[in-house]
C-alpha cells in the first residue's frame, strides 16, 4: 500500500553553469509529494498516520527549505537534486517509496531512491 502526503513551500534559487533564465535569482512555490509504502496495520487500519509523515517532513525538509535560499543548502538546486536531498533527509525515519517535487504547475521531478 502507498500513502502520500502533499506539502508546499516557497524558496529562491539560481542555477550555476546554466544558460537559461534560471541562472538568475528567482523563486518558486514548490509542491512536494512524499509517498511511503507499507502494509496496512490490522489494528489501526493504516499504513502510517498522516500526522507522522507531516511531523518528519516538516522538521527535516520544510523548515529548512521554506522561505530560504536553497543554494546555501544544495549546491546545484535543480528539481532533481532537491528531490534527492529531500529523500536523504527522511529515509531513516520513513519508508519512502517516492519523492515528487513540482517546481511549476507543469514541471516536476520524481525520485525513487537508489
The CA distance from 98 to 89, in Å, is 13
Per the structure block, which three cell numbers stand in for 14?
539560481
The CA distance from 14 to 67, in Å, is 14
Nearest CA-CA partner of 10 in 77, 83, 65, 81: 65
Our answer to whether residue 103 is catalytic in this structure is yes
Single out the catalytic residue among 13, 28, 100, 103: 103
Single out the catalytic residue among 26, 67, 80, 100: 67
Per the structure block, which three cell numbers stand in for 11?
524558496
Single out the catalytic residue among 13, 22, 52, 100: 22
Active centre residues (catalytic): 22, 67, 103
Amino acid at each position: 500500500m502507498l500513502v502520500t502526503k502533499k506539502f508546499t513551500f516557497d524558496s529562491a534559487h539560481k542555477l550555476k553553469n546554466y544558460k537559461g533564465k534560471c541562472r538568475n535569482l528567482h523563486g518558486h512555490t514548490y509542491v512536494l509529494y512524499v509517498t511511503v509504502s507499507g502494509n496496512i496495520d490490522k489494528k489501526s487500519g493504516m499504513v502510517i498516520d498522516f500526522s507522522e509523515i507531516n511531523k518528519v517532513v516538516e522538521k527535516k525538509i520544510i523548515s529548512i527549505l521554506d522561505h530560504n535560499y536553497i543554494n546555501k543548502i544544495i549546491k546545484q538546486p535543480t528539481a532533481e537534486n532537491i528531490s534527492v536531498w529531500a529523500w536523504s533527509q527522511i529515509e531513516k525515519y520513513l519508508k519512502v517509496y517516492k519523492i515528487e517535487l513540482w517546481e511549476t504547475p507543469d514541471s516536476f521531478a520524481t525520485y525513487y531512491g537508489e
